[in-house]
Amino acid sequence: MQQVRPRMTRILCTLMITALMVPLFSACGSKEKSDVEKEQSAQPATQQEQKVEEKEPVTLKFPIWSTITEDLFNKLDLVNEYKKEHPNVTIELELLKDTEYENTMKIRNSANELPDILPLKSAWLINFKDNILPLDDLDAAKNNMFAADFKVNDHIYGVPESQFNEFVWYRKSVFQEYGLEIPKTWGEFVTAAKKIKDGGKYIPIAMGGKDAWPDYPFNEFMPSLVAGDGDYWSTMATIDEPFTKGQAYYDAYAKIQELYDAKVMGPDPLGIGFDQSKLMFASKQAAMIGLGQWFGSDLKSMKDVDMNDVGAFLLPVRDSESDPFNTISMVDTFFTIPKTSKYPEEAKEFINWFFSDAWYSKYLTEAQLQSTVKDVKIDLGPMFKGAFDMSNLNYVLYKGGSEDYKKIESAIKFDVKKMGQDMMAGKDFNKMMQEMNNSWKNARSKLK
């Protein structure tokens, strides 16, 4: 009994001490709290509002496929410019190799790891349509002149960043040396190239045929130009034998073959890649190069290029001056938002900002590209002076092709750029067209 009593005393003491400590601590707590409350009430109202508005930090992943774009974004400080208005948002740029871009995105898609803003080319919109969000209600989409032209299943999925034309870039001094004028028909264009070749001093047209893609102004765009139909791939999907004489595809390719056969692209156009062909033009070894408007800023960034000696004209594909002068109008880099993005609202906000006056005009002026936004005009500078002064000028808006076209393309592995390589290598043109007709017809018959 004597042992139990002290133990009981200890327990009671402990309980009492605890009971006393609780209010003590709680009083301290309430004092601290009241201090904070006092401090808060002493703060100005604006600061309090700021605290309420503070948002969680967000990182938007934004891949790009062009070093030219990366240089421009860095020069104009895109990341910090956006941060000024949206302090909680960090734009994380990632440069990917242009030739691997689509593959990389397909692989990331299979792992549900697409970025928050996904730039796509028009032809890829169909491929990714099930994995990206419709943007019909986005302000940037509503203000865009071309977004609705590239609807898939009646929805706008991407907002195109820029519009540009395809040019033949030329050396003014070489044209002066040979007394050449800007060609207005296909015949004049081939003749001008032949005249430069005969001079033996310059390669008439630089072509990086080894990379296949640099033949796109000819092999990819000319069927549309001859047809005067920017959606010619979709039209082709409705024809059984588009590789027959009299069809736009055949006629365009016959013209291209005439150019390749004239051997005006140097001793071995298939042996050099794009970088080498670009350098050949920059160092005035070559008189012309066929590339899009984007090449202007690329050229400017190169050292020792006399930009006053560089001019640009639209590739003439017509047979006579009385025909309409069709020129490709290319709409590129469609900003889309993947369904897997964790921050779709922030991504939408970024796209709206990108197309706002504050950034968009500044960016496009630097990039020397044309606007896709209504009421925004961009000064393209002196390089394109006179390039558009052409009678009967007709802009052909290039599109990527319908789902049926994609099915045929996939089934027969239709690759116009590889065909261009084959043509440069001297493959039998008519045999090639005949084989293509057979494969095309066969694939069409299997369309579901």
Q: List phi, psi (to 5°) of 156.
A: -85, 120
Q: At 277, give phi and psi (nearest 5°).
A: -65, -35
**Is residue 117 near other proteins by the rule CB under 8 A?**
no
Binding to other proteins in span 195-214, by CB under 8 A: 209-212
Binding of residue 220 to other proteins (CB under 8 A): no
DSSP-derived secondary structure letter, 372: -
Q: How near is the Cβ of 103 to other proteins at its closest, in Å?
A: 4
Q: Which of 59, 127, 234, 244 binds other proteins (CB under 8 A)?
A: 127
Rounded CA-CA distance 50/43 in Å is 11
102 sits near other proteins (criterion: CB under 8 A): yes
CB of residue 107 to other proteins, shortest distance in Å: 9
Q: Which one of residues 128, 157, 175, 260 is an interface residue with other proteins (CB under 8 A)?
A: 128
Exposed / middle / buried, residue 43 (Cβ in 10 Å: 0-12, 13-18, 19+) = exposed
Structure tokens at 53: 């508005």
| HEC secondary structure over 296-315 | HHHHHCCCCCCHHHEEEEEC
Tokens coding 75: 């020069």
Distance CA 410, CA 407 (A): 5
Q: Which DSSP state fits 308?
A: G
In this chain, which stretch among 29-37, 124-132, 138-146, 312-320 interacts with other proteins, using CB under 8 A?
124-132
98 binds other proteins (CB under 8 A): no
- Would you count residue 394 as binding other proteins (CB under 8 A)? no
- Please answer whether residues 120 and 109 qualify as being in contact, where contact means their C-beta atoms are separated by less than 8 angstroms: no
CB of 265 to other proteins, least distance (A): 12
8 Å CB contact between 55 and 88: yes
Q: Which one of the spans 5-13, 34-42, 342-350, 424-432 is the region binding other proteins (CB under 8 A)?
A: 424-432
Question: What mask, x for binding other proteins by CB under 8 A, covers residues 158 to 197?
Answer: ----------------------------------------
- Asked if 153 is part of the footprint of other proteins (rule: CB under 8 A), the reply reads no
* Residues in 262-291 that interact with other proteins by CB under 8 A: 266-268, 270-272, 276, 280
* CB neighbours of residue 352 within 10 Å: 15
Query: Which stretches of the chain bind other proteins, using CB under 8 A?
Result: 102-103, 106, 109-110, 127-128, 130-131, 209-212, 266-268, 270-272, 276, 280, 406, 409-410, 413, 415, 418-419, 421-422, 424-425, 427
